[in-house]
């Protein structure tokens, strides 16, 4: 009885479904092509926020302090899914 409970519990905790790009799932991939691109701050950076680059919102972190909404910034580096702007 305890074994059956543990078996059912384990199966309820394990993910069996697979996700793929055909279903619209994407992983956090590096976006090295953004280095050197410029964009406009759409959500103020304190130091994290959102910048519109090539018409798309990108979550970024500023290299320094606060950057207000509407300011133009440049992507200086990308490490994993961390996009750094100046």
Residues near 74 by Cβ (< 8 Å), separated by ≥ 6?
A: 36, 37, 38, 85, 86
**Domain-embedded: residue 49:** yes
Considering the domain boundaries, does residue 45 fall inside one? yes
Any domain includes 62:
yes
20 in a structural domain: no
- CATH number for 81: 2.40.50.140
Give the structural domain span for 81: 34-86
Angle at 29 between CA 63 and CA 79, to 5 degrees: 30
| Within a domain: 6 | no
Q: Which residues pair with 59 in a beta bridge?
A: 50
Percent with pLDDT over 70 in the chain: 83
Number of domains in the chain: 1
pTM: 0.65
Tens digit of each residue's pLDDT (9 = 90 or more) over 5-30: 888 887 777 767 776 667 766 655 56
Of the pLDDT bands very low, low, confident and very high (cuts 50, 70, 90), residue 48 is very high
Is residue 85 within 8 A of residue 58, CB to CB? The reply is: no
């Amino acid at each position: 009885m305890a074994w059956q409970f543990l078996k059912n519990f384990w199966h309820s905790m394990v993910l069996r479904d697979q996700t793929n790009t055909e279903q619209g799932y994407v992983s956090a991939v590096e976006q090295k092509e953004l280095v050197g691109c410029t964009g406009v701050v759409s959500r103020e950076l304190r130091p994290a926020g959102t910048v519109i680059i090539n018409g798309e919102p990108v979550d970024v972190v500023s290299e320094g302090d606060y950057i207000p909404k509407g300011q133009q910034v440049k992507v200086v580096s990308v490490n994993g899914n961390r996009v750094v702007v100046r």
